[in-house]
Amino acid sequence: MHGNVWERCQDWHEAGWYARSPRDNPQGPESGSRLVVRGGGWHYFALHCRSAYRNNYSPLARTGNTGFRVVR
């Protein structure tokens, strides 16, 4: 599951958000310009290949290493 593609998340990104967010189930800021991605892409360092690692991308960005996971 980790390291295949960066998983696009619905949360907006804001630097330092998790330091002041609610401890249980933080939802992210209400608005922003960049979205959170998690889990590392196939050509990133092993350090990034874990679900707790966060990065951010433009919601309009199209890359070969971002995607989403289908849950049934």
Note down pLDDT in tens along the chain; length 72 residues: 566 788 888 899 998 888 888 888 888 888 999 999 888 877 778 777 787 788 899 989 888 888 877 777
- What's residue 6's pLDDT? 86
Task: Take residue 67 and report the two structure tokens written for it.
Answer: 């995607």
Task: Take residue 24 and report the two structure tokens written for it.
Answer: 């249980």
- What's residue 67's pLDDT? 82
Q: Is 18 left (phi over 0), alpha (psi -120 to 50) or beta?
A: alpha
d(CA 29, CA 14): 7
- What's residue 35's pLDDT? 92
Q: Give the global pTM.
A: 0.74
Buried b (16+ CB within 10 A) or exposed e, 36-54: bbbbbbeeeeeebbeeebb
